[in-house]
Amino acid sequence: MARLEGPSGPQNPLITTNGMLIIDKIIDRDGKVYENIAGGGGMFAMLGGCIVSLDSKISRSLKWIVDCGYDFPAELMEEITSWGSGAVFRHDDSRETTRGWNHYSGLDLRNFKYLNQKKIIQASDWKEFGEEQLKRIECLHLVCSTERFHSLKEETSSSVCHPQVIVWEPLPDICDQAHYNEIEEIIGREEDFAIVFSPNAEEGARLLGDIEPLTFEEADSCINRFDQLLADKNVCVLRCGKLGSLTLTSRKLATGKRSIYHHPAYHENSPDKVIDPTGGGNSFLGGFCLAYTATQDLKIANICGNIAAGCIIEQIGVPKFDHQTREWNGQTFRQRLDTYLANFPEVADKKADQVCQELTYRWS
């Protein structure tokens, strides 16, 4: 019998995810083994949102489900709880927690497999939040195939959840020419909601029948090819690792083409700080989701996404969090924002104070 526990008190839910928490075993490039490491696309996305939350009122707006089996480590539950998110822990003592195996054999080459049967999260599971909470969700982060996108959308449309934005992180396996038409059909259709389509650079290029872009010019050429695929209000965000992010916006230039924003990676000038890229892309999207839902500003969303990703990749596993100072690996979000804007002043048309004001006004 499953049992639930989660945060109490008033909340202002904004975002949820169908992504899971997975307990990982990681084997690094030197053969060192790490056990019981928190992982999973849903966990990293919600952690990315927590990193860019300026206070606990904001982090509680990140509603997500953590499925805990009989083997779920108590210290991991304590760590996740300390983040102050809107996590709902769903306990099931009849099964193991979903577990994964990660082996790094190259610079950024990861081999992954599930070690047991995974427990996926359906749209119906979001009812655990309560009807009043669910109807206030504005943004869905979906990590899924085209088939699951359609089924989740159908489930959602028949429930009380009516998101304004779906941020779609396609599964790597479907980013190829065989699935091109299926993906084009989704991102090219006008819906009641906007879609932010976000493959990483290798996935985006492979979908288009090309090889991974390794320079800014190649990445720029890649994202330009999505211009004709997107419905008018949809957006493409290409996550480019050490090259940062490229965003093909819905705003048209005089030429009739969409404008493109480039935001450098947080550690572009400090690559020695990058320890493990696991979860960087997921956490980028979590930071992006929270910032975009709060501000409707793609530039602020990309800045926050890159800051979240930069924090995640500084260690194996998750960053150390001090809930009293809200420091992640010894730095607050505001300190990281100041650093980012100082290093890349050309990427934003707003000062740090204004960015923070826009990120927090809904909770004021």
CATH code for position 283: 3.40.1190.20
Burial of 86 (0-12, 13-18, 19+ CB in 10 A): buried
Tokens of 345: 């002043």
User: Can you say how many angstroms the Cα of residue 154 is from the centroid of all Cα atoms in its chain?
Assistant: 22
What is the number of domains present in the chain?
A: 1
Q: What is the full per-residue pLDDT of the chain (364 aa) written as tens digits? A: 455 555 544 456 789 999 999 999 998 888 899 999 999 999 999 999 999 999 999 999 999 999 999 999 999 999 999 999 999 999 999 999 999 998 887 655 678 899 999 999 999 999 999 988 899 999 999 999 999 999 999 988 878 889 999 999 999 999 999 999 999 999 999 999 999 999 999 999 999 999 999 999 999 999 999 999 999 999 999 999 999 999 999 988 888 899 999 999 999 999 999 998 889 999 999 999 999 999 999 999 999 999 999 999 999 999 999 999 999 999 999 999 999 999 999 998 899 999 999 999 988 7
Residue 137 covered by a domain: yes
Looking only at the bridges linking them, the beta strands covering 327-328 and 15-17 are: unpaired
Looking only at the bridges linking them, the beta strands covering 86-91 and 63-68 are: parallel
> What is the C-alpha to C-alpha distance for residues 317 and 290, in angstroms, rounded to an integer?
22
pTM of the model: 0.94
Residue 47 covered by a domain: no
Q: Which residue segment(s) compose the domain that 136 sits in?
A: 10-19+123-354
Burial of 338 (0-12, 13-18, 19+ CB in 10 A): middle
Contact of 289 with 282, CB cutoff 8 Å: no
CA distances from 344 to 118, 253, 308, 348 (A): 41, 24, 16, 8
Helices (H), the chain: 41-51, 56-59, 74-82, 131-134, 146-157, 180-187, 201-207, 216-224, 280-295, 298-312, 333-343, 352-360
